C-alpha cells in the first residue's frame, strides 16, 4: 500500500514520520517545501501538488487546518480528485465541520473514491509518539482497510459511525478539553490568589476525581508559563466555532462552550492566538492580577 500524505504541519509531520518508521511507502506534499524536504531526507518521496499525490497513491491522508483548506486540497485545482483513480481511499484527519466532511465525501464518491473522516486528539506530543486518539466516520469495510496504518499513528482508533461522525466526536472532545482547561485555570488562579502554591494544588488533586489527561498535560505547561504550542488557541477557536455552528444547526444549546469561546477570543485580541491552549490561564491571571506559577 502506497500512502500519500498532504499537510505536514505541527501534527502532520510527526504523523507522517510514524508511517515511514512503520515501513509504509510514503508520498508527501505541503505548500511549505521545508517539511517536504525533511520527510524526503527520511525516506519519503516528495510531490509537487495534491493531484500528484493522488495519482501515485492507493490511500491519501490529509491533515490540514480547517474545512476550506481541505476543500481546496481535495476539490480545488490540482487537487486530490483531479488525480484520483476509482477505488482510491481518502482519509481526512483534519478537524473540520461534520457537514463539510459530508460534502467532500459526496464529491469524492462521484469519482469512485471512498472517504473516511478521521480527526485526532492528543496534540503534538502524542502525534510524535504515535499514541493519538483517532475518531473515524465512514463505511466499516473502508475503515477495516485503513485500520492497520491508522494504528501506527494512534493508540486508540475507533469507528464512530458514518461520514461526519468522526468530526462530530472530535467536536465533543474539543468541548470537554476546552472546559477542562478553563476549569483548571480558574482553580489554579484561585489557589495562587489565596496564597496556596498552585503546583502543590496540582500535585494534591491529580490523583483524585479532578485528575484527568488534560490536567496532566496542561497544568505543568501553565505552571511553568510555557505556552509553546502543541495545540494553538486559534485552532481551538476554530474547533469551538465548528461545534457552536453544528450545535445551532441541530438545536443544541452550548452555554459553557460559548463562554470558553469568548475567553479564547479575548486572548486572541491580546495577541495570544498562537499560544498553546494551556495559555487560557492567562485570561484568569489578568482578571485576578496574579500569576499562577510554580
Compute the distance between CA of residue 166 and CA of residue 178 in angstroms, rounded to an integer: 18
Compute the distance between CA of residue 33 and CA of residue 78 in angstroms, rounded to an integer: 17
Q: Residue 44: CB partners within 8 Å, gap ≥ 6?
A: 5, 16, 20, 26, 27, 28
- Cβ atoms within 10 Å, residue 176: 14
User: What is the DSSP-derived secondary structure letter of residue 4?
Assistant: E
Cβ(218)–Cβ(184) below 8 Å: yes
Is 294 among the residues known to form the active site?
Answer: no
Q: What is the torsion angle, in degrees rounded to the nearest 10, for the CA atoms of residue 210, residue 213, residue 216 and residue 217? A: -140
Compute the distance between CA of residue 92 and CA of residue 108 in angstroms, rounded to an integer: 12
Compute the distance between CA of residue 57 and CA of residue 155 in angstroms, rounded to an integer: 25
Catalytic residue among 13, 170, 218, 238: 170
Backbone dihedral region of 174: left (phi > 0), alpha (psi from -120 to 50 degrees) or beta?
Answer: alpha
CA 183 to chain centre: 21
Cβ(17)–Cβ(42) below 8 Å: yes
Backbone dihedral region of 32: left (phi > 0), alpha (psi from -120 to 50 degrees) or beta?
Answer: beta
Compute the distance between CA of residue 73 and CA of residue 75 in angstroms, rounded to an integer: 6
Compute the distance between CA of residue 55 and CA of residue 85 in angstroms, rounded to an integer: 7
Q: Annotated catalytic sites, by residue?
A: 170
Amino acid at each position: 500500500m502506497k500512502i500519500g500524505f498532504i499537510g505536514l504541519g505541527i501534527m502532520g509531520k510527526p504523523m507522517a514520520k510514524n508511517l515511514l518508521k512503520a515501513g509504509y511507502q510514503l508520498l508527501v506534499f505541503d505548500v511549505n517545501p521545508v517539511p517536504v524536504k525533511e520527510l524526503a531526507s527520511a525516506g519519503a518521496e516528495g510531490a509537487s501538488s495534491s493531484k500528484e499525490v493522488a495519482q501515485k497513491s492507493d490511500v491519501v491522508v490529509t491533515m490540514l487546518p480547517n474545512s476550506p483548506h481541505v476543500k481546496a486540497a481535495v476539490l480545488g485545482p490540482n487537487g486530490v480528485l483531479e488525480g484520483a483513480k476509482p477505488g482510491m481511499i481518502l482519509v481526512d484527519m483534519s478537524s473540520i465541520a461534520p457537514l463539510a466532511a459530508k460534502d467532500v465525501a459526496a464529491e469524492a464518491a462521484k469519482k469512485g473514491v471512498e472517504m473516511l473522516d478521521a480527526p485526532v486528539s492528543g496534540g503534538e506530543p502524542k502525534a510524535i509518539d504515535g499514541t493519538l486518539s483517532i475518531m473515524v466516520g465512514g463505511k466499516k469495510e473502508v475503515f477495516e482497510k485503513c485500520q492497520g496504518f491508522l494504528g501506527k499513528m494512534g493508540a486508540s482508533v475507533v469507528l464512530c459511525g458514518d461520514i461526519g461522525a468522526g468530526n462530530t466526536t472530535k467536536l465533543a472532545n474539543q468541548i470537554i478539553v476546552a472546559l477542562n482547561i478553563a476549569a483548571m485555570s480558574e482553580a489554579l488562579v484561585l489557589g495562587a490568589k489565596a496564597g496556596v502554591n498552585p503546583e502543590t494544588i496540582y500535585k494534591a488533586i491529580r490523583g483524585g476525581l479532578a485528575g484527568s489527561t488534560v490536567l496532566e498535560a496542561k497544568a505543568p505547561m501553565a505552571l511553568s508559563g510555557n505556552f509553546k504550542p502543541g495545540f494553538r488557541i486559534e485552532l481551538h477557536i476554530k474547533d469551538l466555532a465548528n461545534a457552536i455552528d453544528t450545535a445551532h444547526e441541530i438545536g443544541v444549546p452550548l452555554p459553557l462552550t460559548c463562554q470558553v469561546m469568548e475567553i479564547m477570543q479575548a486572548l486572541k485580541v491580546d495577541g495570544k492566538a498562537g499560544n498553546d491552549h494551556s495559555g487560557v490561564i492567562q485570561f484568569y491571571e489578568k482578571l485576578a492580577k496574579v500569576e499562577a506559577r510554580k
